[in-house]
Structure 1
Amino acid sequence: MKKILLFVLLFGQSHLLISQDRLSGKSFASRSEVLAQNGMAATNHPLATQIAIDILKKGGSAIDAAIAANAFLGLADPAMNGIGGDLFAIVWSAKDQKLFGLNASGKSAQSLSYTQMQKELENGKTYSRGPLSITTPGCVDGWVALHSKFGKLEFSELLSPTINYARAGVPITSEVADFFLMDEPFVKETNNPSFKKLYFTDDHFPRKGDLFMNKDLANTLELIAKEGRKGFYTGRVANGIVNHLKEKGGYLSLEDLKDNQPQWVDPVSVNYRGYDIWELPPNGQGISVLQIINILEGFDIAKMNFGSAAHIHHFTEAKKVAYEDMAKFYGDPKFGNIPLDKLLSKEYSAERRKLINPKKSGSYDPGLAAGDHTIYLTVADKEGNMISLIQSLSAGFGSLEVPEGLGFVLQNRGSGFVMEAGHINQYAPGKRPFHTIIPAFITKDGAPYISFGLMGGDMQPQGHAQIIMNLIDFGMNLQEAGDAPRIFHSGTSARRGRREGVGDTYLESGFDYESISSLMDMGHRIRMMKGIFGGYQAIMIKDKVYYGASESRKDGQAAGY
C-alpha cells in the first residue's frame, strides 16, 4: 500500500491505481473520469469525440452529436463500421422520461431462397464473406429515424465535419493502424480491386500517422446530406451497390434497398441488486447479458473479491449457461418463437443457477425445449437526453465488397445465419440475421443512470456483465469499471448455433497466479492472450453532473463541456 501512496504523491492523480483495500489486494492502472455539466461524449476516436462536442455546443441534441460522430468513425475507422453496415441504439428521452430502442439492422435479399443458397454453397461459394454475406445496410436509415425523432440541427450539418475530413484527410491512429497491419496479408490474397483501390496505397494499408482521404465517401455523404435516405437507398448509390453485387453473383436488389425500414422497439430489462439493466430484444444477443446477471444475482459476488478464482469461475459458468440458450433461441422474432418472458424470469434463472458447481467447470444444455468488429459511442446533452449507439460491419471490413466510386465497404451480417433447417436463425429471404452488436443502459428508480457499451463480437455480452459486476458488486467508478482486467470465454461459436462445451477461458493480464492455478484445478482451460477483450465507453449522470469514461485499450476519449 505504501508504494501506491508514494506513486500518487510523486506523480499526481492522472493515472491512479485502484484502492487495494476496496479490491482486497488487487490493483491495476486506471485514470480519472471526465466530469462536465452541459454535455459529454465518449467514443473510440478523439476526433469523433471532438466532433460530437462541437455539435452539442452548436445546440445539437445528443442524438445529433452521435450521428455526426458515427459518420466520422466510418471514415477514420473503416474496418469497424460505416454506412455499409447496421446500427442499434437506446435513447433516453428527457422530454418523455423513458427509453426508446432502435433496431436498424437490414434483411437478407428477397430473391435469394434457402434452396438457392444451398445450391450456391454446394458450388463452393461461402456466406461468411463476399456477395452472399451481404444484407441490406441499415445504418443510414437508422440515422434518419433517430434524427427525425430526436434531432435539432439540419441533417447536412451533422455530416459536414466528416465530408471535410474525407477530402482533407485524417491521420491513421495507432489501433486502426494495428488492425490494418493484422488484416493486410488476408486482404492481399483476395480478388477485390475496388477495395484495394479505395483503402490501399502502394499495395498496403496506410500506416500510423499517414493521412487517409476518401473523396468517394465525401461525395456519397454529400448526397445523403442533400437528399436524406433517398440519397442512399435510391438513385446513384443504390444502383452502384446493386450493379456491383450483380457482377459478383450477389442477390441484393433495388427493391431490397428501397423497402428497408428500421424498427422502433421496446428495450427489455431485469433488475440487478436495485438497478434496472436494459438491452434490446433479439435479433441481437443483448438478452444474454440479462440472463447472465440474473444467474449471478443469486451469488454473493462482492464477497468473492475481484479477480479471485471464485469470481472468475462463477462468471464463466453463468456465461456458458446463458450462451447455450442464445445458441438455441435467439434470432429474428418474426421467424420463430422466442420465450423471452421465460428466459428472463427470476424463476428460470434460479433453475439454471442450480446447474453450476462452485468447485468445477461444467458443460450445459439449453434450458428449454425447442418451440466482431464494431464501434460503440455514447453522448449526453444539457437537456438530459442520452444515447447508447453501436454500429458495425460484422467482420473487419465486412464482406470486403466495395461498390466502385462510393467510398464504403458493405457488411457481411449474413454470416450470422445458420443453414440448419428448423433453427430460429436458419437462413431465409427477407430476414434479419443474428446480430452481435448491443447497446446498453442502466436506470435507477426510473431515472437515467449509465449509458454504456462494449464492442467486440462474442465478447460484448460478457463485457457488459463484467462492467455491471464491477460497478455494482465491486464498487468501482465508471473509469475503473472499464479498465479492470477482463475475462473472455470462448466455446464453439454460440452465434452459429453450435454447443459451447467447456471451451477456453482467456484472461487479460492483471489476474494473479494463485487464481489461475485454482481455476485450472477446477477444470478451466486457461489461456492468456491480447486483443480480444473489447472496447468500452460510458457516461453516467449523478447529481446533474455527467461522468465520462473511455478505456485505454482503444484510441478513444471522453470529453465534456
Structure 2
Amino acid sequence: MPLPVFDPLDHPHASRRQVVYARRGMACAGNPTAASVGLQTLLKGGNAVDAAVAMAAVMPLVEPTGNGLGSDAFVLIWKDGRLYGINGSGPSPLAATLDAYRARGFTEVPAYGVLSADVPGCVAAWAEVAKRFGRMDFKDVLAPAVDYARRGFAVSPTVSLLWARAEKLYSKFRADPQFEPWFEHFAPAGRAPKAGEVFSSADMARTLELIAATEGRAFYKGVLAERTAEFFEAKKGLLTYEDLASYVPEWVEPISVNYRGYDVWEMPPNGHGITVLMALKLLSGMPLGERLKAETMHQQIEAMKLAMADTAEHVTDPAAMRVSVDELLSDDYAARRRALIGPEALLPQAGDPRGSSTVYFCTADEEGTMVSFIQSNYRGFGSGIVIPGTGISINDRANNFRFDEAHANCLAGGKRPYHTIIPGFLTKDGAAVGPFGIMGGFMQPQAHVQVVENLIDWHLNPQQALDAPRWQWTGGRRVEVEADMPANEVLKLARMGHEVTVKADLTQMGRGQMILRAEDGTLAGATEKRTDGQVMCF
C-alpha cells in the first residue's frame, strides 16, 4: 500500500503526533509498558506472534481496566501469505440456563458478579497461538509479564483515570463478599493508583509463572482451575471446573469484503466484525462525499445503524444463528438495505437477509508476519470478580446474552454470546497491508468503518486516520460527536434529524492502533490520541 507522506501538521483536525516508521519490527499498544514488552520480545529473537503473546500476557497487569487473566481474545495472524483467525471467546457455563437465573430472581443476566461470567478463553488462545506460530519457549515469552508483575510498573494516565472510575463504580458492592477480593487486589491502599504510582502483584506473578510452566493447562485443568471453581461454588456462581476443563479455542476462517480495491478482514460470528463488512458494503455502493461533511457522516451513520441493527438481531454463537454470513453479506441484501437510506435520520430496524472497555495491540516482524490481537473482560474490570490469591479478574461477557427464548442470542448453557471485540486486517491483491483495531465495546465496528474510510477513501496516513474526529451512534437517532468535529457540520447533522451530543471525553470514542506495510517492506505504525499508546520498533 502506498503510504501517504504529506505532513500531518498541515492537515486540518490532525494531531501533532507523527507516524512511526521502521524496517525490522514493530509493536503498537495503548500502553507503553505493553509496547515495550513487544519490542523486548522481538529483540530477543521472537517473531511477531511471540511479541503479541508477550504483550497479551502483560496487559492484564498494566491495563486491568480493559482486560484480565479471565478475559476472552480474538486474533488475526498473517503468516506466510495467508490470514488465520482464532476465536478465544468462551461459552456460558453449562448450568447457565434461563431457569437457573429465574430461580434466583433475575429477569436478565446481571452485569456484575459471579452470574455475569462466561468461561475465560484468552489464556488458552495465548498457548494455542504460540504453539502453532511462535518460535520462543512459552516460559520466555511470558517472562516479561512475570517480571513486571513482581517488580511493578508505573501506572499510565488514562489507565489511572479508568481505574479510579472503576473503584467508584465497585464501591457500591463493598458490602458484598464476592467483591472483596477485587478491592484487596486492585485497591490495596483503599483507592485506585494514581498516574505514575507503581503497582505490582505477587499473586499475578505466581499465576503467570504457573501458566507459563504448563502452557496454560493449569488455568483450565490444574490448581488455578480448582481455585476458580471453588470460589464460584462458594459464591453461588455457575462456572465449574468441568466448564474450564472442557474449553478449547477455535481456529476459524476470517471473513472479508472488498472495499474500493482493498480486502477488509474481520473475524466471523460470534463476534460483530461482520457489522463492519455489512456497513462497508452499503457505503461502497453510494457516492463518496467529502470527509467530515454532514452529508457524508449521515450516510456513514445510517449505514452503520442498519448493520448494527442486523447484527444485534442475528449474530450469536454460529451454531445458533438462523441466517448465514453469506446471506448477511450478499449483494442483494446490501442493495435492499442501502435503498432505505434517505436524507433524514432513520430509526433502524433489523431486516431479514434470507431469500465498554478492551485492549487492542498489533505487531509485525521483518519476515512478514503480522498480528492483530484484541482481549477484553467486556466492561472495564469485567464482573468485578477476582479469584483470591491469583490476580485473575473474570469477564462479565454473559451479560451480552438476551433473556428471550425467541431470540437467536438467548442465554443457554454452553453457548457463546454475541461478542463485541474485533481485530481487523487489510490486504490488497493478496498481499498484507496490515493489522488495525480500535477497542471500545459497541464503538468498535463504528470506529473500524471510520478509520478504514479515512485510509482508503481520503488517503490519510495511519496516525491521521486514527486521530481524526469521530462520531458514535448510540441508539435511536442519538449520535455523539467529538468536540473537534467541525461545528457547522454538527449543526447540519442535527437538521437532518440526528439527536447530536458533543462529547469532551475521548475515552468513550475508542482507542486503537495500526501497522501498515509499504510495498518496499517499510512499516508505518500509529497509536492514537485517545490512549496512552506507544509505538516501539527497530
Tell me if both proteins adopt one fold, taking TM over 0.5 as the criterion: yes
Given that 1:163 and 1:221 are in contact with CA atoms closer than 8 Å, whether structure 2 keeps it comes out as: yes
Q: Deviations over 1:73-93 (max 9, x none)?
A: 110111211211100000001
Closer, same or farther: CA 15–242 of 1 in aligned 2, 3 Å: farther
CA distance in 2, matches of 1:230, 1:450: 32
**Which of 12, 15, 31 is the matching residue for 1:45?**
31
Post-superposition shift, 1:119? 1.8
Local SS of the residue matching 2:412: coil
* Per-residue deviation, 1:426: 0.3
Deviation at 1:15, TM superposition (A): 8.9
Matched with 1:55 is 41
For residues 19-34 of structure 1, the aligned pairs below 5 Å read 19=11, 26-34=12-20
In structure 2, the partner of 1:182 is: 165
Q: Give the gaps of 5 or more residues in structure 2.
A: none
1:131 equivalent in alignment to 2:107: no
Change over 3 Å in CA distance of 1:364–1:545 after alignment to 2: same
Identify unmatched segments of 5+ residues in structure 1. 1-12, 20-25, 492-500
> Once the two structures are superposed, what CA deviation does each residue of 1:317-374 show, in whole Å capped at 9, x if it has no partner?
11111111011100001123232112112221111111001x2111232220789210
1:559 and 1:403 map into 2 onto residues whose CA distance is 33
User: 1:282 and 2:282 equivalent?
Assistant: no
1:559 is the counterpart of 2:536? yes
Which of residues 508, 520, 527 is equivalent to 1:550? 527
**Deviation of 1:460 (Å):** 0.2
- How far the C-alpha of 1:165 sits from its partner, in A, is 1.0
1:216 aligns with 2:203: yes
Superposed counterparts of 1:112-123, under 5 Å: 112-122=96-106
Contact 1:283/1:435, CA 8 A, preserved across alignment: yes
Contact kept? 1:62, 1:385, Cα under 8 Å: yes
Matches for 1:80-99 after TM superposition, within 5 Å: 80-94=66-80, 97-99=81-83
State the 4+ residue runs in structure 1 displaced beyond 3 angstroms.
13-16
CA distance in 1, matches of 2:83, 2:105: 42
Matched, 1:536 2:512: yes
Match of 1:79 in 2: 65
How do 1:488-507 residues align onto structure 2 when only pairs under 5 Å count?
Answer: 488-491=472-475, 501-502=476-477, 504-507=478-481
Which of 170, 189, 206 is the equivalent residue of 1:202?
189
2:214 is aligned to: 227
| 1:100 aligned onto 2:87 | no
Q: Say which SS state the counterpart of residue 443 (structure 1) adopts.
A: strand
User: Residue by residue, what CA displacement relative to the aligned partner does 1:486-539 show, whole Å, maximum 9, x if unpaired?
Assistant: 111101xxxxxxxxx32x111112222221111111111010112311011000
Q: Are the aligned partners of 1:337 and 1:371 in contact in 2 as well (CA < 8 Å)?
A: no
- TM-aligned CA distance change 1:141 to 1:311, over 3 Å: same
Q: Which of 297, 303, 308 is matched with 1:318 structurally?
A: 303
1:17 to 9, 30, 54: 9
User: In 1, are the aligned partners of 2:74 and 2:88 still within 8 Å (CA)?
Assistant: yes
Which of 320, 326, 339 matches 1:354? Answer: 339
The one-letter code sitting in structure 2 at the alignment partner of 1:52 is G
What SS does the aligned partner of 1:360 have? Answer: coil
Aligned to 2:441: 457
Task: Give the Cα separation in 2 of the matches to 1:473 and 1:76.
Answer: 36
Aligned match of 1:526: 500
Q: 8 Å contact 1:60–1:152 — kept in the other structure?
A: yes
CA offsets 1:283-337 (integer angstroms, 9 cap, x no match): 1100000001111111222xx2111111111111111111110111000011232
Q: Secondary structure at the match of 1:366?
A: coil
Number of corresponding residues: 527
For 2:375, what is the secondary structure of its paired residue?
A: strand
RMSD: 1.7
Measure, in 2, the Cα distance between the counterparts of 1:507 and 1:486.
6
The residue that corresponds to 1:340 in the other structure is 325
Distance in 2 of aligned mates of 1:65 and 1:426: 37
Of 230, 233, 255 in structure 1, the residue corresponding to residue 242 of structure 2 is: 255
Kept in 1, the 8 Å contact 2:71–2:120? The answer is yes
Query: C-alpha separation between the residues in 2 aligned to 1:93 and 1:297?
Result: 29
- 1:378-393 alignment to 2 at 5 Å? 378-393=362-377
- The answer to whether the aligner puts 1:514 opposite 2:498 as a matched pair is no
| 2:402 counterpart residue number | 418
Q: Which amino acid aligns with 1:72?
A: V
| Residues 43-93 of structure 1 deviation map (CA, whole Å, 9 limit, x = unaligned) | 111121111111111111111100101111110111211211100000001
2:280 maps to 1:293:
yes
Larger deviation, residues 450-459 vs 366-375: 366-375
Q: Aligned partners of 1:297, 1:125: CA distance in 2, in Å?
A: 38
For the Cα contact (< 8 Å) 1:93–1:384, is it kept in 2? yes
CA distance in 1: counterparts of 2:147 and 2:65, whole angstroms: 20
Indicate conservation of the 8 Å contact 1:53/1:65, yes or no.
yes
Aligned counterpart, 1:3 = none
Q: Give the alignment partner of residue 440 of structure 1, picking from 421, 424, 427.
A: 424
Q: Cα–Cα, structure 1 residues 73 and 294, in superposed 2: closer, same or farther, change >3 Å?
A: same
What is the one-letter code of the residue matched to 1:233?
Y
Alpha-carbon contact 1:14-1:31 (below 8 Å) kept: no
Aligned AA for 1:513? A
| Structure 1 residue 255 displacement after superposition | 0.9
The answer to whether the 8 Å contact 1:488/1:532 transfers is no
The question of whether the paired residues in 2 share the 8 Å contact of 1:372 and 1:436 is answered with no
TM-score by length of 1: 0.91
Identity of aligned residues (%): 37
Supply the distance in 1 between the matched residues of 2:95 and 2:461 (Cα, whole angstroms): 50
Deviation at 1:403, TM superposition (A): 1.1
Offset, 1:126:
4.9
Instruction: Quote the Cα distance in structure 2 between the aligned partners of 1:225 and 1:251.
Output: 27
1:162 to 145, 170, 184: 145
* Residue type at the aligned position of 1:67: V
User: Quick check: 2:19–2:524 contact (8 Å CA) kept in 1?
Assistant: yes
Contact 2:259 2:280 in 1 (8 A): yes
Residue 127 of structure 2 corresponds to residue 153 of structure 1: no
| Larger mean Cα displacement after TM superposition, 57-66 or 225-234 | 225-234
